[in-house]
Amino acid sequence: MTNVPTPPVHHGHPAPDGSAVVEHSADVDPRAVLGTGTRVWHLAQVREHAVVGDDCVVGRAAYVGPGVEVGRRSKIQNAALVYEPAVLGEGVFVGPGAVLTNDLRPRAVTPDGSPKRADDWTAVGVVVRDGASVGARAVCVAPVTLGRWSMVAAGAVVVADVPDHALVAGVPARQIGWVGPAGARLVADGDALVCPLTGARWRLENDTLLEER
């Protein structure tokens, strides 16, 4: 995504050519890349070298850190904080007030009491695979990976990798079920797991969820 040219940016109103729209009070660094159809709402900040794909939403007062990559059709909701070097796949949802951290051992000062500087620590990131969702006010403590179509419940604190399609909740977050692409918790039907919204059927093999064709 880092080689994608930046489309024209229009401020405060949709552009006829479908390019990105940035509200007047948002702060988008000129070195950031915004995809076609993406909208950045009031008071949001998108830092230098961040890449936000096509048809994304960056909500009011959200933060996207330097170099963060966001796949197309993703939504970063109001006041969510996505710190570098996070990588979000396509169709990712980050709920209001959620935080994707980048410091495994956060301190304001070094052991000798001097202020920490950029070269005093190594940033670690959260990876969110395609279709995954992070609920409101959840915290993902880097380094962790959220699998495809997984779902983190509101208020959860994720400290370990989350498998594809897993539903996790609590502090610390633990798996409590499975979800399909529609987001509904799958229900047992004999040896299968079924989505109550779509009727799609799934089966577990070696702790991996596989859709029945």
Q: What is the CATH number of the domain that holds 68?
A: 2.160.10.10
Identify the band that residue 7 occupies on the pLDDT scale cut at 50, 70 and 90: low
Tens of pLDDT, residues 50-101:
999 999 999 999 999 999 999 999 999 999 999 999 999 999 999 999 999 9
Return mean pLDDT, the chain.
92
Residue 59 resides in a domain: yes
Residue 70 resides in a domain: yes
d(CA 98, CA 63): 11
Q: Mean pLDDT, to the nearest integer, of 27-44?
A: 96
Residue 151 resides in a domain: yes
Q: What is the DSSP string of 136-193?
A: TT-EE-SSEEEPTT-EEPTT-EE-S-B-TTEEEETTTTEEEEEB-TT-PBPEEETTEE
Residue 14 resides in a domain: yes
Residue 209 resides in a domain: no
Record the pTM: 0.91
Q: In what order do the strands lie in the sheet with 144-146?
A: 33-34, 51-52, 69-70, 87-88, 126-128, 144-146
Look at residue 32 and tell me whether its pLDDT is greater than 60. Answer: yes
Look at residue 9 and tell me whether its pLDDT is greater than 90. Answer: no
Structural domain harbouring 168: 9-177
Residue 188 resides in a domain: no
Q: Which of 15-29, 83-97, 162-176, 184-198 has the lowest mean pLDDT?
A: 15-29
At residue 206, the pLDDT reads 87
